[in-house]
A and B are shown apart, each in its own frame.
Chain A
Amino acid sequence: MAQGIRAYFGHITDVVTTFWEGLSVTLSYMLRRPITVQYPDRVEKRVADTLPPRYRGILEVDTAVCTGCMACERACPIGVIKISTDKDPGNPKQRVITQFDIDVGKCMFCGLCVEPCPTGAIAHTREFEATRKHVDSLVFRWVPDPAKPVPFYRPVKGQDAPRAPVGEILRRCLAAASWIERPSFLPEERKP
């Protein structure tokens, strides 16, 4: 009987002490800063710039240092990359890239294409925002015009390829092709 009474009042004390503790914890969290990042518009820095440097975002190709070895095309397990080469009509010894397409809509960001690249021409950026109205527009053409092909790069021994800083080219292209300002009656953009 006495035990029962002690248990009864023990429950009441339990309720009071646990309420005290729990309410204090929740109130204390209410007074702290929420950790939510208000992506996309209320951020102090671009979210892409806050990501870790080895983040595997959208692929970028610096065609100026591309050797045309097609190692990336072979490495891709799902055929995202499509490269065509040709002889330069003006200079038969020089081979040129006429097409370098990456279908970002299919890409799974595995990074297998980046590893065999001898010059680092193909690389993952930290960009991840490339919304388009049509999935076809997600095919990024790194050689925009087949009529203006890009010559192969010849690596120089003992010297790193002069690769543009990773992400810069892609960011420029994305900004140029942002579809919000682009009226829908215009033809779809060819550039990436």
Chain B
Amino acid sequence: MERRKFLKTSILLAGGAVLGSAHLFGKSTTFPSVVLIKNGNPAEMVRKALDMLGGISRFISKNDVVLLKPNISWDRAPEYAATSNPELMSEVIRLCYQAGAKNVIVLDNTCNEARRCYKNSTLEETARKAGADVRFVRDNHFSETPIPNGTALKSWPIHNAVFEANKIINMPILKHHGMSKVTIGFKNMMGLSGGNRGRLHLSFSQKIVDLNRVIVPQLTIVDAIRILKENGPQGGNLADVEKLDTIIAGTDRVLVDAWSAKIFGLDPNKIEYLRIAHEAGMGEMDTDKFKPTQFVFKS
């Protein structure tokens, strides 16, 4: 019963967020739907990004339970750019608590053994130091969740923290991936799903959009500080890593992914899931028409 309630709320919230961002965008009100920050250190870049997006208090209110989803999928050290930037994450956790969040949950359903990934990526230690509630993902933490309007997925096991939290912040890292050419925000939400996740790779674009119909982040912050250009998503060779010192953040998750893909060197129009997501009304994808507000730190 409670779960259904959670679900309902989250769908309402989702709808609200989509409508809200579209509304903000259409009226071109004070806040941009995507921002691009360059050349700062991770903490100052994310602070700047949030300032430009209307401040953390626009997203996080007092007593919110926040689910923060970095990419902790692989047993790699941070410099290999297979996992999200720890400093970036810890600053966001700090800001959430500053805005009055009751709890900030950090977790990921990893591909390598969970403790190895949590440890070697340094994300567990960093998040704990910042006061986050870092959790390992267990088989019994998932609930089969119906996906209304799902085209390829009618239901899928989703992590209960998605419904426990009332705010979701998506913190992917921008990197190469053999399936969708690049993995950004939409793909990062797979870490909140359970079951036989390999199955999601069949009709991948449809399914990844379907998952994002029920897991709806209010804010996406893409880590392009170090990006993995080849042999993603797990990498392993420093020669494939490029330092961009960039973050892309915003409320329009389609546009955020589109701009991230563009920065990666890809044509967003050729990325199938973006097209499907856009057609499903989840956001804009025309990078010629919708430009990010930029800020470049002087070095």
Asked if A and B bind, the verdict is no
